[in-house]
Amino acid sequence: MHFDSAFNGLAHQLPKGLLARMQQAQGASERMATDALPRRAFLKMSVASGFALGAYPMGASAQGAAPIAAPAGLKPFEQPASFVKIDKDGTVTVTVNRLEFGQGVLTALPMILAEELDADWSKVRAVHGSADAAYVDPAFGMHLTGGSGAIKNSYTQYRELGARARAMLVAAASAQWDIGAGSLRTENGKVIGPGGKALAYGDLAEAAMQMPVPQKVVLKDPKDFRIIGKATPRLDARAKSSGAQNFGIDVQLPGMLTAVVAHAPVFGARLKTVDDSAAKAVKGVKAVLRMPTDRGGEGVAVVATGYWAAKQGRDALKLEWDASAVEKVDSAAQLASYQALAKKTGLVKFDADMGALAGAPKKISAEFSFPYLAHAPMEPLNCTVQVTGQGAEAKASLWLGTQMPGFDAVAAAKVLGVALQNVKVNVQMAGGGFGRRGVPTADYVVEACTVAKAARAAGLDVPVRVMWSREDDIKGGYYRPMHVHRAEIGFDAKGKVLAWDHVVVGQSIAQGTPFESFMVKDGIDNTALEGMRDPYDVPMRLSVHHPKVNVPVLWWRSVGSTHTAFVMETLIDEIARATQQDPVAYRLQLLGDKHPRHKAALLLAVAQSGYGKRKLPAGQAWGVAVHESFNTVVAYVAEASVTKGVPKLHAVTAGVHCNLAVNPKTIEAQVQGAALMGLSTCLPGAAITLKDGVVEQSNFGDYVVARITDMPRIAVHLVPSADAPTGMGEPGLPPLAPAFANALAQLTGQPLRALPFKLA
């Protein structure tokens, strides 16, 4: 997220009608999820599959499988039957209700469940869930991987699932031995009775499934954890490091064809003429299909026996485009218009008194600019679609890595004309996404279903895999929005802020989506402003303009904090320099006693880095930043230099406060990866620009991302805590750029006002 922190804590604010429609559309209503499956049929099905604790995945009717009877008072996502599968050999397979796309959730969630289950970790495996009702985010009632909410929102859920499954296993052993359950205990995949006699979970699973599912369970005291909190290698590490792991792009089905789509160079443009004669002559090309595309545009799909044939066919197309009816964005003109808007007060979020600004003894006037950014995951977008049957009997199966399988199922059903209960979403491992695989419009899913439907109408009744190239991915839209900030700050000689007038200009990512009703208030998209002002208690008037631009935008890893953290932390540093104060001491003074987690993270990073105690090599300087996003605080102490105008980040020390660290190894990897992605935003060439409506970048040759040679030394330190965990997928990104920038400002005496960096 990949998704948006505006979701965090807003579940209770969802309009009832909206939430109900989302749940109903995704097949997630409790009524559908709790229809009874006769126990005899259930047991027969389970035994036939190598009996397991949990008919799997059997969560809800959205996948066409008859759901399990829900114990009174339990929702689908609270029932172990959909999450825990124990084979006779003792292998425990945990179904994960999130997309794994690099954040380690396919290991961390099983760790949580296995902890309360008292499973033998060496026998634990993990698989993805689907669009079944059981696999919704329990905080929001919808299928969602985003907002760094996987562990945060499912921590208690997966603990309770494990505890319920454990209680059922104990109940089965109690019945078999005719011994009170209170005299039994569990350990490492076994139920142990008096005298040390034991029964393995694999031998108890069938009987355990016949036991009542307890509504209430007692969870472990964190001091007794033996799995949670231990640095644990990822379950998918071997497959990924060896090249054995399959991703959505690797799906292979009998008779499958591959399609690529020629998209309009300007968003929303339509076709004027199509000459497909040369394309049809390419060996392997089976069909050339004119089709509608995202945002009212048109495109041409080339369907062939493989990707290369399809690409060659697309290259052979002769197309003329008509962009007369759509805006043709020019980045230079857009920046100028944003800068003009930033000089005017917009829709007001905070409205402090600005009377002290004019007479303040010290002032800062600053303007910041941030470009569009592409998500550019290593695995470009793809979706495989198979449709069988006709009319009311038609069924569809989709294979893709998706952050919102429920939304995608609804979109597929609408395009294909297939009943929602007959749409099956097979969630695949994804090679990154950073928000791009969670699109409210389901653009690339709609595209794939449109191609599959047209191909079938043309007589190609086979599965169709639609693949995007790297160039398609970078030019294909849904970017982090471009933003301009303008700040006028007045303060005194001691650094006390007297007035801070701040204007933000940028497109809304929520307007026009199903999330608008609770993410946009009084015309203000709160995602654009998250991270502003807090944690510093300064008198700020904050306002925003949301211009409408013909460039599709979307959340991008850490969302609004990608720009707000940079603005806040560089300006705080600038005030410290202007008043000749140490930037760490100044921050601690502003934080006071109201933000202990910020202080703990900052002090940990400072202590571990040697800041203020260790002398840096000549030409290097320290830079500091601390920021909270997704309820997690990350502080960075950076060591950087500038040589002949080229900045270099040498080392970064992180202090992280995410409460309880479920898997410290995963958290370390997330911070390292997020820091590197944050570094990417600083490098020249890290920008998406448009000329005459056309995106100018196309691949990593002209859209820069950080490489291994750019990677600094990174040390990650965690603040100890037993409190329930907070988000971790995104918080490591926002404070990296300002920490780096603050180090450079110490060296050059000039604050940086833009990403990527522009050194004079």
Residue 71: per-residue pLDDT? 60
Confidence grade of residue 64 (pLDDT, cut at 50, 70, 90): very low
Residue 316: per-residue pLDDT? 98
Average pLDDT, the chain: 92
Confidence grade of residue 65 (pLDDT, cut at 50, 70, 90): very low
573-600 as b/e: b if 16+ CB within 10 A: bbbbbbeebebbebbbebbeeebebbbb
- Pair 455, 483 in one domain: no
- Does the pLDDT at position 4 exceed 80? no
- Does the pLDDT at position 12 exceed 90? no
State which of 192, 210, 233 marks the end of a domain: 233
Q: What is the mean pLDDT of residues 291-315?
A: 98
- Pair 257, 321 in one domain: yes
Residue 666: strand, helix, or coil = helix
CA nearest neighbour of 110 among 235, 203, 245, 239: 235
- The predicted-structure confidence for 233-249, as pLDDT tens digits, reads as follows 999 999 999 999 999 99
Residue 50: per-residue pLDDT? 29
User: Considering the domain boundaries, does residue 576 fall inside one?
Assistant: no
- Does the pLDDT at position 49 exceed 70? no
- Pair 185, 253 in one domain: no
- Pair 531, 589 in one domain: no
Residue 48: per-residue pLDDT? 29
- Pair 662, 723 in one domain: yes
Q: What is the mean pLDDT of residues 677-684?
A: 98
- Pair 342, 432 in one domain: no
Residue 17: per-residue pLDDT? 39
Q: What is the mean pLDDT of residues 726-744?
A: 98
Q: Note if the bond before 80 is cis, omega within 30 degrees.
A: no
User: Considering the domain boundaries, does residue 241 fall inside one?
Assistant: no
- Does the pLDDT at position 389 exceed 50? yes
CA nearest neighbour of 193 among 212, 210, 170: 170
- Pair 8, 37 in one domain: yes
Count of positions (residues) in the chain: 760
User: Considering the domain boundaries, does residue 755 fall inside one?
Assistant: no
- CA torsion, points 144, 148, 153, 159, in degrees to nearest 10? 110
User: Considering the domain boundaries, does residue 571 fall inside one?
Assistant: no
State which of 233, 261, 291 marks the end of a domain: 233
User: Considering the domain boundaries, does residue 309 fall inside one?
Assistant: yes
Q: What is the mean pLDDT of residues 324-344?
A: 98
Q: What does the alpha-carbon distance between residue 255 and residue 248 come to, in Å, rounded to a whole number?
A: 17
User: Considering the domain boundaries, does residue 473 fall inside one?
Assistant: no
Q: What is the mean pLDDT of residues 132-141?
A: 96
- Does the pLDDT at position 30 exceed 60? no
Beta strands 423-427; 395-400: pairing state: parallel
- Does the pLDDT at position 72 exceed 80? no
Confidence grade of residue 9 (pLDDT, cut at 50, 70, 90): very low
Handedness of CA 459, 460, 462, 468 (dihedral sign): negative
- Pair 590, 605 in one domain: yes
- The predicted-structure confidence for 526-573, as pLDDT tens digits, reads as follows 999 999 999 999 999 999 999 999 999 999 999 999 999 999 999 999
- Does the pLDDT at position 21 exceed 80? no
- Pair 589, 547 in one domain: no
Residue with tokens 């009703």: 517
- The predicted-structure confidence for 443-499, as pLDDT tens digits, reads as follows 999 999 999 999 999 999 999 999 999 999 999 999 999 999 999 999 999 999 999
754 DSSP β-pair partners: 369
User: Considering the domain boundaries, does residue 531 fall inside one?
Assistant: yes
Q: Give the predicted TM-score (pTM) of the model.
A: 0.92
State which of 497, 531, 562 marks the end of a domain: 562
Q: Which amino acid is at 637?
A: V
- Does the pLDDT at position 13 exceed 90? no
- The predicted-structure confidence for 90-116, as pLDDT tens digits, reads as follows 999 999 999 999 999 999 999 999 999
Q: What is the mean pLDDT of residues 595-619?
A: 97
Residue 415: per-residue pLDDT? 98
pLDDT over 90 for what percent of the chain? Answer: 90
Give how many domains the chain has, as a whole number. Answer: 4
Residue 73: per-residue pLDDT? 82
User: Considering the domain boundaries, does residue 760 fall inside one?
Assistant: no
Comparison of pLDDT for 738 and 68, the residue scoring more = 738
- Does the pLDDT at position 85 exceed 70? yes
Residue 660: per-residue pLDDT? 98
Q: What is the mean pLDDT of residues 300-324?
A: 98
Structure token pair of residue 587 = 């921050």
- Does the pLDDT at position 608 exceed 50? yes
**CATH number of 744's domain:** 3.30.365.10
Q: What is the mean pLDDT of residues 582-608?
A: 98
- Pair 227, 300 in one domain: no
Structure token pair of residue 671 = 């911070």
- The predicted-structure confidence for 642-672, as pLDDT tens digits, reads as follows 999 999 999 999 999 999 999 999 999 999 9
- Does the pLDDT at position 24 exceed 70? no
Confidence grade of residue 62 (pLDDT, cut at 50, 70, 90): very low
Q: What is the mean pLDDT of residues 69-91?
A: 89
- Pair 143, 26 in one domain: yes
Q: What does the alpha-carbon distance between residue 465 and residue 307 come to, in Å, rounded to a whole number?
A: 9
- Does the pLDDT at position 441 exceed 80? yes
* DSSP state for residue 459 in the 8-state scheme: T
- Pair 507, 535 in one domain: yes
Range of the domain at 396: 246-327+381-467
Residue 54: per-residue pLDDT? 37
